[in-house]
Chain A
Amino acid sequence: MYIYQTGTFLQPANDKRTSLKEHLKAANCSPSLRRAGRFNQLAVLGAKACCSGLDPLSECNLIITTVNGPIANTGILLESVIQQRQIPMPFNFMNSQNNSACFYVAQALAIRGSSLVCMHSTAPIESAMVLAKIQWASANSRPVLVGHVDEWTLPSYRHPTGYSTERQTLSMEGSSWFLLSNEPMTTQPMARVLELTLSISADEVITTLNQHNCHISSVTWDLDQASKELLISIIKSTDSLSINTHSPLEGTEQFSRRLKESKELLYCRLHQTSGNFNLVLLKRNVA
């Protein structure tokens, strides 16, 4: 698996939910996107940023991943249906389906291929990359455009304790995208994915890293606290460890940014969920 391009549209989350109209105009988006809902607009803006400067992709599969989906739009629907007992606006209802974002992204980029939305609360981008790998192994070898999209909610909305803490942890909204392929494209890849593994044990993490001769000094890490503690206990060094304690969307954006900016040849993203680890190991600047 190769990463050919990344792109992001992120903006600070704010309760005013400033219109994205100017951004859409600047990105030459269709005026019809005005009715598409904020989640879908955020998806299109990030996807366009990712594909900017590339030859148009006609055949390309699309995978969108999200933690919360169009959650603010869902709130708007509840206001209408439950609080006001009004029939919802058809477009608000349509936009409550996550895969509306696939529709608008595919339309904006004029791409044809499969489209899938997978929600994963802890490892959204890794899950989507796994799904891309599965498509190549079992169906077709089209490039896959993978995007993580999340939107900010409204201040009056309540997130029941124990269910969700989006407003406490999400400080950005937007989308972050990766163009993946397992076959050569016309441009140089940014990185090759050496390992992509979900739900493995600590021992398997170490075995995997050893197989690639990953010495701590040669790797740039993105870690959550639990992963950091694991590695500290094994490696007895904290010199090269950085911690990502942000929301999943910011983690995805950081992943994309590190890929562009880091000077290390190897880049490892590791984090822990339910006692197991998700690992992505990349080799950068590969031909």
Chain B
Amino acid sequence: MPVDLRPVYINGYSHLTALGDEGNIAKQAQQGIAKQALINLEIADIPAIHYYQLPTANCSSLISRAIENSSLPKEDLLRSHYLFGTSSMSIGNNEAETITNGDISLMRPDQEHQNIIDDMTAVGPIFTFNTACTSSANALLVAQRMIATGIIEHAVIIGIDRLNKTTLSGFSALQLLSNKIKPFDRARKGVVLGDAISVIILTTEPHHEYHYSLLGGANQGDTHSPTGTDEAGQSITQTINEALLNTQLAAEDIGLIKAQAAGSPTNDLAEANGLKLSFSTLPPVTSLKPYIGHTLGASGCSELSLLISCFRAGFIPACPGFNAFDEGLAITPLTSHHHIIPRYTLLNHFGFGGNNTVLVLESGH
């Protein structure tokens, strides 16, 4: 494991989900979860779908807000590296063009990101990561490594996934949807998806008002199944263990686990098994998906920014939706907010195609 890596801090962020923005989201999370919309896709026999929807959102303005919130000079950040993480890419635009023109319309998948950056008159290189639900978690990990190894000084990481018919109908086809997210609960039936645009700025200097460091993490592929990870948890525990190794931490150092825990019957089982293999005594576990929905490729950024907002407000958010203990999982997530912020938090993100990513956050030290 390399030793002479530079520290990497969160030096600005913005957040927009159905629960709110970075200015009010902690307060909203203290009070409850976001309101769901019912989406009628008008496709075959698909019933109305529960969804955490944003009315309108402009990605450029979210990036600008994160830049304004940062203590770095704007002109530096306009030349920064821009790393996008998304599962849906340009599919929403393709749908709109196809509806308008009648013909199947396909834009280059990352063209939308180029347009966003052009709108802002930014000139930095653009990378787009597309590894399903781990997309922006991987973008964060790559940016952290680029800065830690001295390749770049700062990076702007954007997690973005918006409502589109293709993704919703695809999840429906796979029978993965539910009307309520119940992480690790005996009655869990599936996920509720949600919109998110969230931006994180990473650099070698902490923000003057807060002190959160992205220590690193790990990514592992899993060839168990195209739709889910190994239920025995082997691949998940390997990813967690490698993340601990890469950040030079022991399992006992971890004070909180932000679980993937989307309420999927099989993937929650896999995560529970993986956690139990890595931790002889589990630290507190929570899931943020009940608050904002599963924001897919954006979840790396949206859940990190939500968590930091809550930490800054002095609490660890509880895991709503958990009511009935499942003996098969043997995990009880937090049922009320806690008020002691841990030094080290593990953030789990697992996705389609067997892509597992674990990040480690250090708080306020």
Which A residues have a C-beta under 8 Å from some C-beta of B?
Answer: 62, 67-69, 71, 74-75, 77-79, 81-83, 85-90, 93-94, 96-100, 102-103, 106-107, 112-121, 127, 130-131, 134-135, 137-140, 153-154, 156-160, 163-164, 166, 198-199, 274-276
Contact = CB atoms under 8 A, between A and B. Distances in A.
Given A100-B353, A131-B142, 20 more contacts: A62-B221, A68-B108, A69-B109, A85-B44, A87-B169, A87-B173, A88-B170, A90-B174, A99-B132, A113-B221, A115-B131, A116-B138, A134-B149, A137-B145, A140-B1, A140-B246, A159-B106, A163-B111, A164-B108, A275-B123
B355 A102 contact: yes
Contacts of B166: 74, 77-78, 81-82, 88, 93, 96
11 contacts: A85-B44, A93-B171, A94-B174, A97-B352, A115-B220, A116-B142, A118-B128, A127-B127, A134-B149, A138-B144, A156-B103
Nearest to B117: A274
B256 interface: no
Nearest to B124: A199
Prevailing SS type, chain B contact patch: mixed
**Which of A93, A99, A140, A275 has most chain B Cβ within 10 Å?**
A99
Nearest to A77: B166
A275 to B, nearest CB: 8
Given A121-B110, A138-B246, A156 B104 contact: yes
A163 B107 contact: yes
B103 A120 contact: no
A121 B107 CA distance: 12
B152 to A, nearest CB: 10
Contacts of B120: none
A166 to B, nearest CB: 7
A74 B89 CA distance: 11
Interface string B111-134: 100100000000101111111100
A131 to B, nearest CB: 6
A119 B109 contact: yes
Contacts of B149: 134, 137-138
Contacts of A154: 104
A158 B130 contact: no
A158 B105 contact: yes
A106 B107 contact: no
Interface stretch (B93-101, B204-212, B303-311, B333-341): B93-101
A182 B99 CA distance: 49
Interface string B337-356: 00000000000000111110
Given A87-B45, A94-B226, A134-B142, A119 B130 contact: yes
Prevailing SS type, chain A contact patch: mixed
Nearest to B87: A97
A81 B42 CA distance: 10
Given A74-B94, A100-B352, A134-B145, A88 B173 contact: yes
Contacts of A163: 107-108, 111
Interface of B: 1-2, 5, 42-46, 87, 89, 91, 94-95, 97-99, 101, 103-111, 114, 123, 125-132, 138, 142, 144-146, 148-149, 151, 165-166, 169-174, 216, 218-221, 223, 226-227, 242, 246, 351-355
**Which of A75, A81, A135 has most chain B Cβ within 10 Å?**
A81
Contacts of B42: 85
Nearest to A92: B170
Contact of A98 (B46, B130, B165, B173): B130
Nearest to A60: B221
A196 to B, nearest CB: 11
Nearest to B115: A163
Contacts of B128: 118-120
A120 B106 CA distance: 17
Contact of B174 (A93, A118, A276): A93
A280 to B, nearest CB: 15
A78 B129 contact: no
A119 to B, nearest CB: 4
A79 B104 contact: yes
Contacts of A83: 98, 104
**Which of A85, A88, A156 has most chain B Cβ within 10 Å?**
A88
Given A103-B354, A138-B149, A157-B104, A96 B170 contact: yes
A158 B103 contact: yes
A121 B89 CA distance: 13
A132 to B, nearest CB: 11
B352 A99 contact: yes
Contacts of A127: 127
Nearest to B86: A119
Contacts of B146: 134
